[in-house]
Amino acid sequence: MRRHVAVVVHPGFQLLDAAGPTTVFEIAERCRPDSYELVLLSPGGGDVESSSGLKLLTRPLRDGPFDTVIVSGGEIIRSIEAMDEIVAWLRRVPARRTTSVCTGAYLLARAGLLDGRRATTHWASSHDFHRRYPKVRLDAERIFIRDGDIWTSAGISAGIDLALALVEDDLGAEVARRTAQQIVMHQRRPGGQSQFSAFVELGGRTGRFAALIEWVRANLAEPLTVECLADHAAMSPRNFARAFTSETGVTPAKAVERMRLETARTAIETSHLPLERIAEAAGFGDPGRMRRAFLRTLGQPPQAFRAAAEHRELHSGRPSSGSAGLRAVPVHKRTKANERT
């Protein structure tokens, strides 16, 4: 069955928001002929200029039905008229599923399609989005979210992950894997993966805590309590916790846990170190605590990430590295310091 996919752009759209998913469906079509038929649409049709100045040739918005509608993000306020036309079109066009990339979620929300649903968008737009659309259950930490027949994704490259997930939903994991290989991606990132590092790595919206974040990453095996972090930042614990949360959008404890998760996941996927050693070095203290953090945040246990990495290694023929850059921490070094944030 050939699925009709409409990619919708507008003046000021982000080029990769459209080109990334389009490429995924193009490659999937090669892997499984007669699977997809793509059309690029915009209000009025014709040449549409992207935020980079490059233009794409489009057809005018038309009534479907479509199997899938993908709305790109970008400078969505460059043309209010175009934005309103897309919103009106979204409200009436029949589609099996409707999706957005990055700030394209604004158009879905304005059309009322996200009311009461879980959704995501680019982390930098999360506060503004939540203020404008309080009925949406925004989770700006996820790279993509599916809520029934509505799929939303985070910024730019996450649109590729979204498209691969759509292909897997349609044609199965094997076609999605082959598609990812063709576009030189190791695998589709799971939707539960966090956007967290993008803004916390920078130290928050103003970069105020950049040096602190760098220090935390270098000392993950230490007891990183709020008091410890506040002392390093030369602030009182209460003032530090309030300022850090305002700057980064997450509490200090959550930030530390996410950095530990990222470090542990990298070690799990790129080395053959025992999980117990990884848990110690990343600051979790023991594999059980690390496993609970993985399930809570990433939706899968550490063993699942290792199994997926071993599968990729087997098919690529490239062995994993030995230590993945983890600092050596003796496995027997277990004290109360391990019971920390």
Residue 97 CA to residue 77 CA, distance in Å, equals: 24
How are beta strands 55-60 and 46-49 bridged, if at all? Answer: antiparallel
Residue 58 CA to residue 327 CA, distance in Å, equals: 52
pLDDT value for 313: 64
User: What confidence tens digit (pLDDT) does each residue in 3-35 have?
Assistant: 999 999 999 999 999 999 999 999 999 999 999
User: What confidence tens digit (pLDDT) does each residue in 41-83 have?
Assistant: 999 999 999 999 999 999 999 988 999 999 999 998 889 999 9
Tell me the chain's radius of gyration from C-alpha atoms: 22
Confidence of residue 196 (pLDDT cuts 50, 70, 90): low
Confidence of residue 332 (pLDDT cuts 50, 70, 90): very low
Distant-in-sequence, close-in-space partners of 17: CB < 8 Å, separation ≥ 6 = 9, 72, 73, 74, 101, 102, 104, 156, 159
Find the helix or strand (DSSP H, E) in which 46 lies.
Answer: strand 46-49
pLDDT value for 311: 76
**Across residues 291-301, what is the average pLDDT?**
87
pLDDT value for 49: 97
Average pLDDT, the chain: 86
Residue 212 CA to residue 206 CA, distance in Å, equals: 13
Residue 309 has pLDDT above 80, yes or no: no
User: What confidence tens digit (pLDDT) does each residue in 217-228 have?
Assistant: 899 999 999 999
The region of weakest confidence among 141-145, 176-180, 324-328 is 324-328
Distant-in-sequence, close-in-space partners of 125: CB < 8 Å, separation ≥ 6 = 103, 106, 140
Distant-in-sequence, close-in-space partners of 93: CB < 8 Å, separation ≥ 6 = 61, 63, 64, 65, 66, 69
Which 3-state string (H, E, C) describes 268-335? HHHCCCCHHHHHHHHCCCCHHHHHHHHHHHHCCCHHHHHHHHHHHHHHHCCCCCCCCCCCCCCCCCCC
User: What confidence tens digit (pLDDT) does each residue in 137-147 have?
Assistant: 988 777 889 99
User: What confidence tens digit (pLDDT) does each residue in 231-288 have?
Assistant: 999 999 999 999 998 888 788 998 899 889 888 988 998 888 999 999 999 999 999 9
Q: Higher model confidence: residue 181 or residue 21?
A: 21
DSSP string, 114-173: TTTSEE---GGGHHHHHHH-TTSEE-TTBSEEEETTEEEE-STTHHHHHHHHHHHHHH-H
User: 0.85 cut: is pTM over it?
Assistant: no
Give Cα 236 distance to the centre of its chain. Answer: 33
Short-list 8, 12, 129, CA closest to 74: 12
Confidence of residue 318 (pLDDT cuts 50, 70, 90): very low
- Residue 202 CB: number of other CB atoms within 10 A? 16
- Find out whether 102 and 153 touch, Cβ atoms under 8 Å: yes
Residue 49 CA to residue 31 CA, distance in Å, equals: 31
How would you class 183 by CB atoms within 10 Å of its CB: exposed for 0-12, middle for 13-18, buried for 19 or more? Answer: middle
Q: Higher model confidence: residue 311 or residue 96?
A: 96
Reading the block at residue 319, the tokens are: 């062995």
Short-list 88, 92, 108, 90, CA closest to 100: 108
Confidence of residue 323 (pLDDT cuts 50, 70, 90): very low
pLDDT value for 337: 35
pLDDT exceeding 90 applies to what percent of the chain?
A: 60
pLDDT exceeding 70 applies to what percent of the chain?
A: 85
